[in-house]
């Protein structure tokens, strides 16, 4: 029943007052060793928290092996988001995650206090590990600080889709498109978009007012359990098919000598955004190498050494993949004459400073901005005489 299927800091010389740990000093780095240790211990920590939940709320029925498994998996997801947010020193990300989770719980008809219960059990587990000396000061204080901040204001609405029709001059076309896709009528959906393209509607317009808002709508409908993961997959695949039918427009522009490699980090399956960026920039004269979803660092490095791009564009949607984006960028920046690195994706639109925390040169909110920022990075390289 419980949970769906299928997700640095304050130093203590601890003084226990009224059962609460009170900080005495501030600002100490979290050690890599401390982070590695808690990641190794994660299976025990997760089990301990779920046991505490089961004891605190027997109605959760965590005795059924299937429910217990999904409770353990969900607990693992929540703690992965917590640790990744701490590694990225972004309380905002963790707050966004919990607001998203809180509204998701609501649509899953889970008890409203389920999330609070989870985090109060988690804090107890962390306190016990801290008192047993199995959790370092700085990390313990970050964990409790992030949990308090991340659960401080949960009931704010987290609607991910822009209100349809408000700022979309193609709202009628979009609703026609939605109808064709959800009724399995790919032929009509394709004819609608290619028809507009043949009448001269720019690629930029089709991306901005049909494909992108439709994808965000899919996220909102899935979030509200109005469509299944399969329908989300299917609808995304239909849009990818139709985007590829526009490739004559993508490859019609003469090349301007500027090279971009576009990729997702390892483990990241959300590739629609970076595909859109590569196709749009290709249509604007850039020579792009689109690598797609979940690329291992070594393969990205290979392509960078072959293509010698001016810009490497890295996409990351899941907060839990951000530490991988940072280590990938460190690797790319250790190359002789490193390319400029631009980043983007869901979490970068939640924390405006995240691009700096992962070591990138720039970030952009969408495909149009990505072109302008990449051109500016190219011009910057030229100015520095690197070209």
Contacting residues toward ligand B12, per CB under 6 A: 6-7, 97, 100, 160, 212, 215-216, 218-220, 222-223, 229, 232-233, 236, 267-274, 276-277, 313-315, 317-319, 342-346, 349, 363-364, 366-367, 370
* Neighbouring C-alpha atoms within 13 Å toward the C-beta of 161: 20
As measured in angstroms, the least distance from the Cβ of 116 to ligand B12 is 18
Least distance (Å) between residue 222 CB and ligand B12: 6
Strands 20-22 and 15-17: antiparallel
For residue 367, the minimal CB distance to ligand B12 (Å) is 4
Using the minimum distance from each CB to ligand B12, give the nearer residue, 12 or 211.
211
The DSSP symbol for 165 reads: T
CA distance 167 to 49: 45
Residue 62 near residue 50 (C-beta atoms within 8 A): yes
Distance in Å, CB of 310 to ligand B12, minimum: 13
Q: Are 270 and 321 in contact (CB under 8 A)?
A: no
- CB of 364 vs ligand B12, minimal distance in Å: 4
Q: Which of 269, 247, 246, 240 is nearest to 181 (CA)?
A: 240
Residue closer to ligand B12 by CB (options 134, 285) is: 285
Beta-carbon contacts of residue 385 (< 8 Å; ≥ 6 apart): none
| Residue nearer to ligand B12 on the CB measure, 138 or 278 | 278
Q: Nearest distance from residue 265's CB to ligand B12, in Å?
A: 10
Tell me whether residue 219 or residue 323 sits nearer to ligand B12 (CB atom): 219
288 Cα distance to chain centroid: 23
For residue 102, the minimal CB distance to ligand B12 (Å) is 11
From the CB of 271, what's the least distance to ligand B12, in Å? 4
Judged by beta carbon, residue 12 or residue 180, the one nearer ligand B12 is 180
The tokens for 367 are: 């495909």
Give dist(CA 283, CA 285) in Å, integer.
Answer: 6
88 vs 138, beta carbon nearer ligand B12: 88
Instruction: Tell the smallest beta-carbon distance from residue 223 to ligand B12 (Å).
Output: 4
Q: What is the DSSP letter of 43?
A: H
C-alpha distances in angstroms, 287 versus 185, 200, 259, 310, 332? Answer: 34, 23, 5, 10, 19
**Which lies closer to ligand B12 via its Cβ, residue 26 or residue 107?**
107
Residues in the chain: 387
For residue 265 the two structure tokens come to: 């980090």
Contact 205, 193 (CB under 8 A): no
Taken in order 367, 368, 373, 375, is the CA torsion positive or negative?
Answer: positive
Q: For residues 316, 318, 323 and 329, what is the CA-based torsion angle, rounded to 10 degrees? A: 0
Residue 105 contacts residue 114 (beta carbons within 8 Å): yes
- The CB-of-313 to ligand B12 minimum distance in angstroms stands at 4
Rounded-to-integer distance, Cα 116 and Cα 103, Å:
13
| Shorter beta-carbon distance to ligand B12: residue 151 or 212 | 212
21 vs 314, which CB is nearer to ligand B12?
A: 314
Q: Which is nearer to ligand B12, 42 or 216 (CB)?
A: 216
Closest CA to 320 of 272, 358, 267: 267
What span, in angstroms and rounded, lies between the C-alpha atoms of 266 and 79? 19
């Amino acid at each position: 029943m419980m949970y769906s299927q299928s997700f640095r800091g304050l130093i203590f010389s601890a003084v226990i007052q009224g059962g609460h740990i009170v900080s005495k000093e501030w600002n100490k780095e979290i050690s890599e060793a401390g982070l590695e240790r808690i990641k190794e211990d994660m299976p025990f920590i997760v089990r301990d928290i779920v046991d505490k939940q089961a004891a605190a709320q027997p109605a959760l029925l965590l005795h059924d092996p299937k429910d217990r498994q999904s409770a353990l998996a969900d607990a693992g997801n929540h703690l992965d988001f917590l640790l990744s947010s701490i590694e990225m020193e972004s309380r905002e990300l963790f707050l966004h995650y919990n607001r998203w989770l809180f509204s998701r719980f609501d649509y899953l008809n889970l008890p409203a206090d389920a999330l609070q219960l989870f985090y109060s059990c988690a804090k107890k587990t962390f306190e016990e590990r801290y008192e047993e000396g199995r959790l370092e000061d700085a990390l313990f204080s970050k964990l409790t600080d992030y949990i308090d901040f991340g659960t401080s204001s949960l009931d704010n609405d987290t609607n991910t889709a822009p209100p349809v029709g408000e700022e979309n001059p193609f709202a009628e076309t979009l609703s026609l498109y939605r109808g064709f896709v959800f009724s399995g009528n790919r032929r009509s959906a394709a004819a609608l978009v290619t028809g507009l393209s043949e009448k001269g509607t720019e690629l930029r317009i089709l991306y901005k007012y049909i494909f992108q808002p439709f994808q965000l709508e899919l996220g909102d409908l899935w979030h509200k359990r109005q469509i299944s993961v399969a329908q989300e997959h299917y609808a995304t695949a239909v849009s990818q098919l139709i985007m590829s039918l526009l490739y004559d427009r993508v490859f019609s522009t003469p090349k301007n000598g500027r090279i971009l490699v576009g990729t997702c980090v390892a483990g990241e399956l959300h590739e629609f955004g970076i595909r859109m960026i590569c196709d749009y920039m290709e249509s604007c004269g850039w020579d792009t190498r689109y690598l797609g979803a979940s690329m291992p660092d070594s393969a990205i490095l290979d392509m960078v050494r072959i293509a010698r791009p001016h810009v490497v564009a890295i996409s990351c949607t899941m907060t839990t993949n951000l530490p991988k984006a940072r280590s990938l960028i460190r690797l790319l920046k250790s190359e002789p004459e490193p390319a400029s690195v631009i980043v983007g994706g869901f979490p970068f639109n939640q924390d405006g400073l995240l691009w700096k925390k992962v070591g990138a040169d720039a970030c952009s909110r969408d495909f149009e901005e990505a072109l302008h920022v990449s051109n500016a990075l190219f011009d910057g390289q030229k100015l520095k005489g690197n070209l």
